[in-house]
Each structure stands twice: as C-alpha cells, then as structure tokens.
Amino acid sequence: MVGDILIVDDERDIRSLIGMTLQDEGYSTHEAANARDARDMLAAQPPSLAILDIWMRDSDMDGLELLAWVKGIYPDLPVVMISGHGTIETAVQAIREGAYDFIEKPFKEDRLLLMVERALQANRLARENAELRARAPEESEPEIIGQSNAIKALHTAIARIAPTASRVLINGPNGSGKELAARLIHHKSERRDARFVVANCARLAPEKVDAELFGSESLQSNRRIVGLFEQAHKGTLYFDEICDLPLETQGKIVRAITEQRFRRVGGNVQVEVDVRVISASSRDLADKIRQGALREDLYYRLGVVPLMMSPLADRRDDIPRLAKYFAKTVSRRLGMSPLRFSDEVLAAMQGYEWPGNVRQLLNTVENMLIMMPADDDSPVGLSALPAEIQKISQAGINSDMEGFWALPLRGAREEFERAYMAAQLKRFGGNVSRMAVFVGMERSALHRKLKLLGVDGEV
C-alpha cells in the first residue's frame, strides 16, 4: 500500500519538485509552506511520512522544532529532514531528535526516493514486529481451522467480504472466534499492511471512552493523545462487544464512521481518517435495541455485511482437527513434546457441549499438555480430560447401565445400540455418511438401523 507524504518547505519550487517526483512513483502528497500550516495538516490527518526543511522563512518554528513537535504527538511517524545549508552537526542533531535520516539540497531524485522507501519500510517493519510480539505465536497468521459446512461457508463469505470496504458485524457466542474472523478479513484485504486495532468496549472506562476512541488535545500544553480511530488510519478498527459502549459515544461513532472524520476531545480541528470498521457481539442485538442499549442507527451502519460464527457444538466434526492443531501450536510455543490424543479422548471431546467454544477447547488442550508427564509419549487417555468432561461422560454411562440391569439381554442390547447410535450421530453432527465409516456399516444399512431404533437421522 503506497503511503501519503507531507512536504514542508518554504520554497514553492522545491515543494513542487519533490511532490511531482513522489507522485510519479504512486505516492499521494500534501504540501505546507510553514510550520503552522504543517501542524494543521498533521492534526487533521497524520501522513505516512513527513519531509521537513530545516530552515524556513516566515515560519514560527524551524524544521528541528517542528520535528520535536511531531515526535511529541506521533512518535512513530517517520520523518526525513532536508536542508540546503546542512552541516554534520545539524544532521546528527536531527537524527538524535528522532528523524529517520538527513539529505542535503540539491539532491538526486533517486536518492530521495530510496530514502523515502527505506523510511516507510523501516516504519512498517517496526510496527509489524510490535504487533507480532503482542500476539500469541499461533495468532500471528490468522487461520480458521475446520472442514465442516459452517466453516466452509465462513471461508467463502470472508473471501467475498475482505476485498471490499464494507463494514462487517460479526455475531456469535463467546469464544467462537469472532476476533480471529475479523483479523482474517483484514489480512485478506488491501489494508493488510496497515494496523488492525482492537477496541475492547467492555474495558474502556466510561469517563475516558471518548478520549480513547477519538483522542484528546490540550491547547495550553500543545499535547495530543492519539485515539484508536487515528491509530487505525488506513487499516481496520475492530469493536469487541459494541453494545458495551455508552449511548452518547455510540452517537459519535455513527457520525465518525459515516463521515470518516471527528474532533478530538478538547480540540477544534476536524480529523480525517480512512478506517474500515468491523464490529462484534455475543448478544442478541435486536433485543439490545429494544432495551435501549444499542442505537438502531449504529446497528444498521455497522451491519452492512452480517457474519455469523457457529458455536463449537454445532460443528463437532471440526473438534478433532482443532484439538490436534492446538496441541501442535501450544507445544511449540511452550517448548514441550507434542501431545497425542487417543480415539476415546477425541470421541469424548466431540460428545461434550463446549459452552466456552473454541477458546475453551484451546484452554483444555493447553492444560492437558502442561499436566502430561514429561517422559510419557503415549496417547493421552480419558483420565487426562478435565473433570467436567469426565463427569458428563461417566454420568451418561452409569445412567444407561442402571437401566440395563432390569432388562433381558435382548432388550439391554437394543437400548445400548439406541444410546450408542444416538451418541455417534451427535458426535458426527448428523453426518450419517461419516458416521457409517466410523461404525463400520454401509450407509443404507445404517439408515435402516437408525430408523429401526427410532433415532432421528437428521440430527
């Protein structure tokens, strides 16, 4: 993604020459003749890079003073300094103040372009490294694991949604992977080189939520705090649990996402941004609107494209694949031997309801890996599962056995087959073909058996 560049120089010819050179390479440029104009432009919309002249006539700041001002507000913004009266001391001072590099006038176009390219690349790499360090290793490359119909449909929808600029509203239970889906949309979009910024609405302090989202500024101290909207400029802003925002703030977001501009808290300048918004919630949003907890106009602006995340219990076919994937990634992260599951463990996992969804499965696998004896490389058995899964499995077996003792052999066998077939059908999510392969029966014979036992084959 080619960036936009602010050129600050008191000589019109120099500004024009630099601007045309950069535009020929696909960059968009903005020009300012003095520090005051430059500050207004920077306040309204921070660029990807700034080129500052050190000596400027009719300006209330020279280039070094403006550099200090820029770094006080946007410490990560790359800045290249230029001057026709440069000295080694001046260059050293500029770099100490945070400039990426220094170039003397007159300069060759190739040298200017190379420096701009390197400055942007260095800034991008620094940002990516910081984001990667903040994430868990397995999340550095967004990946949604599974081959169920629900996951296939999700991948198809994301492939269509990602290239567009449309706002997306993701709904689904806690732990179902809503943020992962949002990251995948961002990763497959043209904004992938810019930031993916998370706004955890439940954790934003009510008295500071506006400042955190839109930033704040103080005219007295000339200091600004960059909010999440500005941090996501050219990228994606993800709202987690959008219903938890105060109603007054929701109204401001309606305008901000529609007009792509806003004012910082305490500021007068309109800040312009280019942000794609993806929102998520585990709540019944229609019910939240009726309760007055969610503005209806915000709901319709956020939900241009709705996306549903299925609970893990509705895609049991994916559980073995997910468990093995988590075992591999977690063991690599913890520096431990890989974890292998017995067939009995995978079957028990498929029979469990997983109220915490994929997040709970990940935590379960990590717990099993940590508690596994270091010198035991055999597949883990049922005893390694958390107590709640063992209790449910054992309770089902015991309750069935209590009824079997009062039945003759033929009746007990029929009841066992009915319970067994119902459990396997549930395990395979109603997929009779896959169940037939597992139980060792022809599909047509299995259908007849299910009908004879009174087990619903469409579960």
Residues 114 and 194 in one domain: no
Print burial letters for 327-354: b (CB count within 10 Å at least 16), e (below 16).
bebbbeeeeeeebebeeebbbbbbbbeb
Residues 305 and 315 in one domain: no
Residues 120 and 261 in one domain: no
As for how many domains the chain has, the answer is 4
| Rounded-to-integer distance, Cα 9 and Cα 59, Å | 10
The confidence band for 397, taking pLDDT boundaries of 50, 70 and 90, is: very low
The per-residue pLDDT for range 401-421, each reduced to its tens digit, is 445 555 676 766 777 777 778
For the range 441-448, what are the long-range contacts, defined as Cβ-Cβ under 8 Å and sequence gap of 24 or more?
none
Assess if residue 440 is contained within a domain.
Answer: yes
Residues 153 and 301 in one domain: yes
Contacts of 250 (CB under 8 A, 6+ apart): 242, 294, 295, 298
pLDDT at 403: 53
| Rounded-to-integer distance, Cα 244 and Cα 237, Å | 16
Assess if residue 398 is contained within a domain.
Answer: no
Which of 310, 343, 373 is the C-terminal boundary of a domain?
Answer: 310
Task: Give the CATH number for residue 321.
Answer: 1.10.8.60
Q: Which domain holds residue 328?
A: 311-386
Residues 105 and 170 in one domain: no
| pTM to 2 decimal places | 0.66
Residues 228 and 344 in one domain: no
pLDDT at 281: 95
| Rounded-to-integer distance, Cα 35 and Cα 9, Å | 9
Establish how many alpha carbons lie within 13 A of residue 43's alpha carbon, considering only the half-sphere containing its beta carbon. 23
Print burial letters for 132-162: b (CB count within 10 Å at least 16), e (below 16).
eeeeeeeeeebebbbebebbeebeebbeebb
For the chain, what percent of residues have pLDDT higher than 90? 44
Which of 386, 417, 450 is the C-terminal boundary of a domain?
Answer: 386
The per-residue pLDDT for range 57-72, each reduced to its tens digit, is 888 888 899 998 888 8
Residues 85 and 112 in one domain: yes
Residues 280 and 325 in one domain: no
Task: Give the CATH number for residue 419.
Answer: 1.10.10.60
Task: Give the CATH number for residue 256.
Answer: 3.40.50.300
